[in-house]
A = this chain, B = another copy of it.
Amino acid sequence: MVEENADADLLFLDLNMPGVSGFSALAWIRSNHASLPTVIVSAADDPAIIRRSIQHGASGFIPKSSPIGTLEAGIRAVLDGEVWVPEGIDLRDDRLDSEEAKIAMALSSLTPHQFRVLMMLGEGLLNKQIAFQLGVSEATIKAHVTAVLRKMNVNNRTQAVLAVQQLRISAPSLLDSGSGGDAAT
C-alpha cells in the first residue's frame, strides 16, 4: 500500500499486522520511503516497545487508548517534524540491539517485491503458492528468494524467517542474557 501511495503525508502503522511480523515493515518503510513520517498506533504501551519503535525510525507512538486530543496533538507534532511519544517515556540512552539492527539493515536493502516475498516466506508458504498469489511464475519467486537469502546472509528460508521473527514484538528487556546450567535434584 505504501508503494501505491507514494504521495502520502503520514503513515499510521499498526504493529502486529497479520503477515508482517513486528517491526519488519517499519524498518523497511523507513529506509525505502524515508520522507514518509510514520506513526505507530498500538494497543501496547510498554515503554520498551515504544522505545524500539523510535529506534527503528518511527516519528511517533500513540497508544490506542489515547484520548482524541492526544492523538491530534501527536499528529500535529509529527507533521511538524517532531518525535512524539506518550508522556513519561524516556528516550535517552537508546541504542538498538546490534543483532536487531543488523537484521533491520538487511531488510532495508530489500526491494519491494523481495520484501513481500520474504513476508510470505514467513507464513510458511511454498514458492509455488507465493507465485500463484502474486500472479507470477515460480521461477520469478525463486529468483526473489535467492536474492533475499543473499542479502540477509542466510542459507535457507527457515533461517530467513527466524531472523525476521527477531523483529517481532517481544520484550527483550525482560529476558536475561546470561545462562548457565539448570539442573534437577
Give the contacts of A1-42 with B (CB-CB under 8 A): 1-2, 5, 8-18, 36, 41-42
Chain B hits for A139, CB < 8 A: none
Decide: A158 and B46 in contact? CB cutoff 8 A: no
A43 touches which of B9, B126, B162, B175 (Cβ 8 Å): B175
A162 to B163: give the CA distance in the assembly, Å. 12
Q: Is A185 in contact with B47, judged by CB distance below 8 angstroms? A: yes
In chain B, what residue has the closest Cβ to A47? B185
* Cα distance, A161 to B164, chains bound together (Å): 13
CB neighbors of B among A126-185 (8 A): 126, 154-159, 161-162, 165, 168-171, 174-179, 182-185
